[in-house]
């Protein structure tokens, strides 16, 4: 679940890290649900 905002470089990096991690889990054969909520939906 991604709660980070999109205003700062650090916030955007948190979103990118979540996407990268979800991709790595998916590639390993795991089932993945990535949820953006709150400010992270901007």
Q: What residues form DSSP beta bridges with 2?
A: 36
* Rounded distance between C-alpha atoms, residue 12 and residue 33, angstroms: 19
Please give the structure tokens belonging to residue 16.
Answer: 């990118």
> Alpha-carbon distance 32 to 18, whole Å?
11
pLDDT value at residue 23 = 97
Backbone angles phi, psi at 39, to 5 degrees: -65, -20
* pLDDT tens digit sequence for 11-36: 889 889 999 999 999 999 999 998 88
pTM of the model: 0.78
| Band of residue 40 on the pLDDT scale cut at 50, 70, 90 | low
Checking 9-12 for CB contacts under 8 A at 24+ apart, the result is 11/39
């Amino acid at each position: 679940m991604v709660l980070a905002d999109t205003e700062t470089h650090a916030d955007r990096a948190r979103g990118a890290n979540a996407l990268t991690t979800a991709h790595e889990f998916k590639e390993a054969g795991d089932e993945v649900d990535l949820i953006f909520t709150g400010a992270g939906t901007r």
